[in-house]
Homo-oligomer: A and B are copies of this chain.
Amino acid sequence: MTGPFDVLTIGNAIVDIIAYAEDDYLVSENIIKGAMNLIDVERAEHLYAAMGPATEQSGGSAGNTAAGVAGLGGTAAYFGKVSSDQLGTIFNHDMRAIGVHYETKPLAGDPPTARSMIFVTPDGERSMNTYLGACVELGPEDIDEAVVAASNITYFEGYLWDPPRAKEAIRKAAEIAHANNRTMSMTLSDPFCVDRYRDEFLDLIRSKTVDLVFANEHELKSLYQTASFEEALAAIRSECELAAVTRSEKGSVVVTREETHAIDAHPIEKLVDTTGAGDLYAAGFLFGLTHDRSLEDCARIGGMAAAEVIQQIGPRPRANLADLLAQEGF
């Protein structure tokens, strides 16, 4: 271990398989647009057979966030489970190559490394179809206590409630983090994910297992089962120490019990692919927070990183984020 780390992230370790598709195709295949659709191996084969020529890039929500923190010049660690196959090798390489501390033991055999088939429609929206593969084996034994203790913030994805044992890993990590006076953070991940685990997510917040929540507008409304953004925002600020809520082209809103900061979206030239937008926003925000920036600046850095990733194909910016940060004067 080479800590301390600004940010440790924990999530489903996934390689993205990205192709363009028309909206009609999503409809004909019953893919929920803009969502993360969980699929089994048979459906994965069916969708892949029908998918256009693709590009592969390492992904996974929390993995993208760790890569983003490292890309911005922060120190990052990651826990997530791959298999010892070619996709696992690619995932592993891409984490280490950007400087993320990543030592989770890979599975020796089946199931294979997780992959998500991402269809990008002409409007730039991404619709994900995720086969969890080796991710189902992530458990408490994968939580390296020394890394959690050495990480300023431990961040995890709500998606981890899909595999069977990852939530045990998260509870273990939270105990270690709080015993070391560290911050626990989560993203709500996806409105349908919130719908699947609403009571458990609310309990994570209300029990103070989580100190800092990331969500987009739809996820937050789903959490509190309201159509009113103001109502949802009032609810989260009353229950959580700090929350950062993204609103696509409307920017983001950061709330504590006493403060509200609304920050404009970072300007873009052309929306190409929204994959990774929320993950990179979280990366920028967490980088800022662990580098003593104001909450407004945290949101601005998040917005800048998100703006970068949505102007390219794939969930991890190819551009040097640390250089962009310097150019923007942060």
User: Mask for A105-130, Cβ within 8 A of B = 1, else 0?
Assistant: 00000001000000000000000000
User: Which of these, B51, B55, B98, contacts A55 with CB under 8 Å?
Assistant: B55
Report the minimal beta-carbon distance from A20 to chain B, rounded to whole angstroms. Answer: 7
Q: Which residues of B contact A54 (CB under 8 A)?
A: 90, 93-94, 97
Decide yes or no whether A330 CB sits under 8 A from chain B: no
Decide yes or no whether A274 CB sits under 8 A from chain B: no
The segment out of A4-12, A194-202, A284-292, A311-319 that lies at the interface is: A311-319
CB-based contact A318/B55 at 8 Å:
yes
**CB nearest to A317 among chain B residues:** B53
Decide yes or no whether A103 CB sits under 8 A from chain B: no
Q: Give A221-276 interface residues, CB cut-off 8 Å to B.
A: none
Decide yes or no whether A147 CB sits under 8 A from chain B: no
User: Mask for A75-114, Cβ within 8 A of B = 1, else 0?
Assistant: 0000000000111001001100110000000000000100
| Number of this chain's copies in the complex | 2
* Contact A56:B53 (CB < 8 A) given known A20-B318, A86-B87, A86-B112: no
Task: For chain A, give the interface size range.
Answer: 20 to 34
CB-based contact A52/B98 at 8 Å:
yes
Decide yes or no whether A151 CB sits under 8 A from chain B: no
**CB nearest to A93 among chain B residues:** B48
User: Which of these, B20, B48, B53, B316, contacts A53 with CB under 8 Å?
Assistant: B316
User: Mask for A17-28, Cβ within 8 A of B = 1, else 0?
Assistant: 101100000000
CB-based contact A97/B56 at 8 Å:
no
A residues at B contact (CB < 8 Å): 17, 19-20, 48-49, 51-58, 67, 85-87, 90, 93-94, 97-98, 112, 313-314, 316, 318
